[in-house]
């Protein structure tokens, strides 16, 4: 079959091709790291052509079909990034923070490698001013202090254990009887609000809203990093949401939340006064 590529026509209006995609059964960490890094490179060069495109490319932004031309309008300096590599599902997750004062962004991105290699489906949750607790400078400040390094082989949890720990946290929003494997210390970064104080007794068990279903979960799992990325639809408004977990010895160590609010400023809650920020977040 003739390879389909992106064509620079009408400002890249044809950049998205919504067609069925097939996933490879397995990939190497090297292949996946290359795919993840190519997304970062594309953001920094302002060009999707930094990525190797697969047979079919399907771009979705905030769970809606979109075009890469709307995103890649100029080079953007990536101030911080984290790559999660899933060799079983052949997927990657990349969290990126861009503090450019002209247009700061925090993005959470899941990418499938195509069945013949290269980029397949791109699912991007993009947040900026007005989204849930958005503050790119604070996100950079706190995320850059955390330790997401490789866990020694003998201390790693299995894929099933990692997903179970992440699901326990997410299930708590709708079932207060769920037992969550809280770690101590644990720090939760939600938008620009952080629960960590750098203390040994830091906790993520600071409360979550009640009666909220977190549906349509899509996972990227990296056993080497003890990390699970979960994309989901948050609550009755099905807000595009990313939850990222670091799990050490079966216990949750870090949680990152990135939520797009659509047209509702701060998802309908009172905007944050960053000169006097609130305590740990409990609802979005």
- The 3-state secondary structure of the chain reads CCCCCCCCCCCCCCCCCCCCCCECCCCCHHHHHHHHHHHHHHHHHCCHHHCCEEEEEEEEECCEECCHHHCCCCCCCCCEEEEEEECCCCEEEEEEEECCCCCCEEEEEEEEEECCCCEEEEEEEEECCCCCCCCHHHHHHHHCCCCCCCCCHHHCCCHHHHHHHHHHHHHCCCCCCCCCCEEEEEEEEECCEECCCCCCCCCCCCCCCCCCCEEEEEEEEECCCCEEEEEEEECCCCEEEEEEEEEECCEEEEEEEEECCCCCHHHHCCCCCCCCCCCCCCCC
**Residues 119 and 161 occupy one common structural domain:** no
**Residues 172 and 192 occupy one common structural domain:** yes
- Residues 36 and 58: their CA atoms lie apart, in Å, by 16
**Residues 36 and 113 occupy one common structural domain:** yes
**Residues 148 and 261 occupy one common structural domain:** yes
**Residues 250 and 202 occupy one common structural domain:** yes
**pLDDT for residue 245:** 98
**pLDDT for residue 53:** 84
Q: How many domains does the chain have?
A: 2
**Residues 113 and 141 occupy one common structural domain:** no
- Domain annotation covers residue 100: yes
Q: What is the CATH number of the domain that holds 144?
A: 3.10.450.50
- Domain annotation covers residue 18: no
Instruction: Give the tokens for residue 146.
Output: 């955390």
**pLDDT for residue 76:** 96
**Residues 149 and 180 occupy one common structural domain:** yes
Kindly list the averaged pLDDT for each block of 10 residues, start to end, along the chain of length 284: 34 37 68 96 95 85 93 96 97 98 97 84 97 97 97 96 98 96 97 93 92 97 98 97 98 98 94 77 49
**Residues 33 and 141 occupy one common structural domain:** no
- Domain annotation covers residue 75: yes
- Domain annotation covers residue 213: yes
- Domain annotation covers residue 71: yes
- Domain annotation covers residue 90: yes
Q: Is this prediction's pTM over 0.85?
A: yes
**Residues 161 and 205 occupy one common structural domain:** yes
**Residues 110 and 52 occupy one common structural domain:** yes
**Residues 92 and 206 occupy one common structural domain:** no
- Domain annotation covers residue 248: yes
Q: What region does 30 belong to: left with phi over 0, alpha with psi -120 to 50, or beta?
A: alpha
- Residues 230 and 247: their CA atoms lie apart, in Å, by 13
- Domain annotation covers residue 55: yes
**Residues 147 and 260 occupy one common structural domain:** yes
Domain hosting residue 210, numbered range: 136-268
């Amino acid at each position: 079959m003739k390879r389909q590529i992106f064509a620079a026509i009408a400002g890249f209006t044809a950049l998205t091709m919504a067609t069925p995609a097939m996933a490879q059964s397995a990939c190497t960490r090297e292949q996946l790291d290359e795919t993840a890094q190519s997304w970062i490179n594309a953001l920094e060069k302002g060009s999707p052509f930094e990525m190797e495109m697969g047979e079919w490319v399907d771009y979705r932004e905030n769970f809606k079909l979109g075009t890469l031309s709307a995103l890649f309008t100029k080079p953007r300096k990536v101030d911080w990034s984290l790559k999660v590599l899933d060799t079983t599902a052949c997927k990657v997750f990349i969290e990126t923070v861009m503090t450019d004062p002209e247009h700061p962004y925090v993005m959470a991105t899941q990418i499938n490698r195509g069945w013949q290699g290269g980029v397949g489906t791109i699912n991007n949750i993009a947040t900026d001013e007005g989204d849930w607790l958005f503050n790119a400078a604070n996100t950079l400040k706190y995320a850059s202090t955390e330790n997401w390094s490789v866990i020694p082989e003998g201390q790693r949890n299995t894929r099933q254990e990692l997903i179970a720990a992440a699901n326990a946290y997410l299930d708590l929003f709708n079932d207060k009887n769920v037992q969550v494997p809280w770690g101590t210390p644990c720090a939760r970064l939600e938008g620009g609000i952080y629960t960590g104080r750098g203390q040994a007794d830091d906790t993520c068990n600071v409360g979550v809203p009640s009666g909220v279903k977190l549906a349509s979960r899509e996972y990227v799992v990296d056993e080497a990093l003890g990390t699970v990325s979960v994309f989901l639809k948050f609550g009755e408004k099905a807000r595009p949401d990313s939850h990222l977990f670091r799990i050490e010895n079966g216990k949750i160590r870090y949680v990152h939340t990135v939520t797009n609010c659509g047209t509702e400023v701060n998802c309908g809650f009172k905007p944050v006064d960053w000169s006097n920020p609130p305590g740990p977040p409990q609802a979005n």
